[in-house]
Structure 1
Amino acid sequence: MPDHTSASPLVSAEWLRDAFERPDVVVLDASWHMPATRRDGATEFELGHIPGAAFFSIDGIADPDSTLPHMVPTAEAFAAAVGALGVGAGDHVVCYATEGIGTAPRAWWMFRLFGHERVSVLDGGLPAWTAGGGTLDKGPARPRPRAFQATFNPARIRDLAAVRANLEAATELVVDARSAGRFAGTETEPRPGLRGGHIPESVNLPYQTLLDGPRMLAPEVLRARLEAAGVAGDRPPVFTCGSGVSACTLALGLTLTGRDDWAVYDGSWSEWGGREDVPVTS
């Protein structure tokens, strides 16, 4: 029987089927795609989604005044946005993506950032749901708005100033989820205008390293791969990537090993690589 009293960071499609009729379970499609793919998560949501789900827009639930991609909004704006999606203060939120784990960890992290701990990622995402016989609905979501209260947790996020200060303090380990080529500066950045390379003294752990196809690896394998990259417990990690999305997959992976002493650099390489006043190593 599924555990209805706590929210594991990761739940299976079987768990979701068993919990599907619970009034406190809210399902959100958090699919997002790089602009160059010319795919739109909201459009694809209407073509097929888990029944009763709403669409969590990573680009929409963001700071409208920032020039950087999908930076986190204020607590008030987040509460209003997810409340409109039908999420209440005591609900268990299950985030999924159309291509497995995908971008769902970004939504998972945002809920945790704003104080909501009852949140999980659907392991295997939409493919796991349909493979197990789950049906799909089409058309727009019709959520019933709920009251949601957000409390910002600064321990879960780092900004440019904090990451710059860490260059000298070295109290945290910056872990980059981008590909090895982007980290080394030998692969062209997908966003124009960004330098190649990485934050000095950071280490590279491509987010795909923690995946087994559309699913997360087992905790013991996650632990081994994280430790091999240098995430061994002596310094809390700060996860970064291109724009703060795939970094959250590393955060999810570390959480599944039992460690919770991490943060995400929200601006990531879109911020750091786009500036001339910070150092870059390649």
Structure 2
Amino acid sequence: MSVSLPGSLVSTDWLAAHLDQPDLVILDGSFKLPGVTPIAAEDFATRHIPNARFFDIDKIADHETSLPHMLPSPEAFEHYAADLGISNDSVVVVYDTPGLMSAGRVWWTLRTFGHDKVAVLDGGLRKWLAQGRPVTETVATFPKGVFQARFHAEAVRSKTQVLDNIESRAEQVIDARSAARFTAAEKEARPGLRSGHIPGSINLPFNALTNPETGELLDASSIAKAFEQAGLDLSKPVTASCGSGVTAAALAFGLHLAGKDDVAIYDGAWTEWGQPGDTPVVTGEEK
């Protein structure tokens, strides 16, 4: 019998009960900032949820640009997905180590290429380990998948589109970075970048959506309230940004749980916008 997801967020209980389902693909989408060691792939080699495959955000990307982990072409993603054993009929569960840092990026990437049968593991590896559930260093083998991408261009925003939006204000822009990075009280970790934020944008750090003790997602009403308190109008379209397009997807996932799907991601994010040049930058609390 094939497995079906109970929703876009699955519990550790649910995953534990379905670990051996042949049509279930478990992806470890953990990611760390440049320079942080051990790297996520090394963590995966040491321990991961049984049957998981490693979704390498830096590898499954467009390598023709200097910007980090930009979306690959649909054709390239088809190859990556197939190599991970993902087919169009696969049911996918994604997790990361802290709970919701990079799993949202993998969730969003799959959906952007037309795969909707994907959920995030609530609490991630952190909760899985806290409950004493099994992990392994054995990398499972699996047959190659057959994946045909259907690219949803409306899920992605370019620098030009974000620039145009400063004038039109057709979409709200929300930034997932820390408040200190948003206001420029703290400098960017990537060398050469200016500090501050996109004019007109508002700030909600991505970790405001999870319980700091467990890594679990807040309930949908609490998530909606967090966005509203940040100044977001849930009736209007949204573009999410961050440092390099990873944690912006955590906000997109949170908005999805709150019932809002007219959300796009500025894929170049601050790594592109903050480069020396003519993109306007605001510091402090000013919008």
Per the TM superposition, whether the score is higher than 0.5 is yes
CA deviations on 1:138-162 (whole Å, 9 max, x unpaired) are: 1444232110111110111101111
| Residue identity matched to 1:163 | V
How far the C-alpha of 1:211 sits from its partner, in A, is: 1.2
1:241 aligns with 2:242: yes
% identity of equivalent residues? 44
1:1-282 alignment runs, 5 A limit:
4-6=3-5, 8-213=7-212, 214-282=215-283
Deviates more, 1:188-197 or 1:31-40: 31-40
| Cα distance in 2 for residues equivalent to 1:43 and 1:142 | 18
* Distance in 1 separating the partners of 2:37 and 2:132: 29
SS of the residue corresponding to residue 59 of structure 1 reads coil
Listed as ranges, the gaps of 5+ residues in structure 1 are none
Give secondary structure in 2 for the equivalent of 1:121.
Answer: strand
In 1, the alpha carbon distance for the partners of 2:145 and 2:94 equals 17
Which sits farther off after the overlay, 231-240 or 252-261? 231-240
Q: CA RMSD in A?
A: 1.5
Superposed CA offset, 1:166-201 (max 9, x none):
011110000001111111111010101000110000
Q: Normalized against structure 2, the TM-score is what?
A: 0.94
Q: Which amino acid aligns with 2:85?
A: G
Q: Secondary structure at the match of 1:142?
A: coil
Contact kept in structure 1, 2:62 and 2:71, CA below 8 Å: yes
1:23 partner letter: P
For 2:153, give the aligned amino acid: P
The residue type equivalent to 1:270 in the other structure is T
Query: Structure 1 stretch 82-91 or stretch 95-104: which is displaced more?
Result: 95-104
Partner Cα separation in structure 1 for residue 249 and residue 141 of structure 2: 28
Q: How many Å separate the matches in 2 of 1:132 and 1:4?
A: 23
Shift of 1:4: 4.6
Given that 2:208 and 2:226 are in contact with CA atoms closer than 8 Å, whether structure 1 keeps it comes out as yes
Letter in 1 for 2:33: M
Tell me by how many angstroms 1:7 deviates: 5.5
Q: Is the 8 A contact 1:55 1:141 kept in 2?
A: no
What CA deviation, in whole Å up to 9, does each residue of 1:49-108 have, x standing for no partner? 111111000000000111001001001111110110111111111111122223111101
Report SS of the residue matched to 1:36.
Answer: coil
Q: Output one character per residue of 1:91-129: Cα deviation in whole Å (capped at 9) or x when no partner.
A: 111111122223111101100110100111111111222
Give the secondary-structure state (helix, strand or coil) at the position aligned to 1:175.
Answer: strand
Segments of 4+ moved more than 3 angstroms? 3-7
Distance in 1, matches of 2:14 and 2:210, equals: 20
- 8 Å CA contact retained: 1:182, 1:197: yes
Tell me which amino acid in the other structure corresponds to 1:111: L
Where does structure 2 lack aligned partners over 5 or more consecutive residues? none
Question: TM-score, structure 1 length as denominator?
Answer: 0.95
Are the equivalent residues in 1 in contact too, given 2:48–2:137 (CA < 8 A)? yes
Alpha-carbon deviation of 1:277?
Answer: 1.6
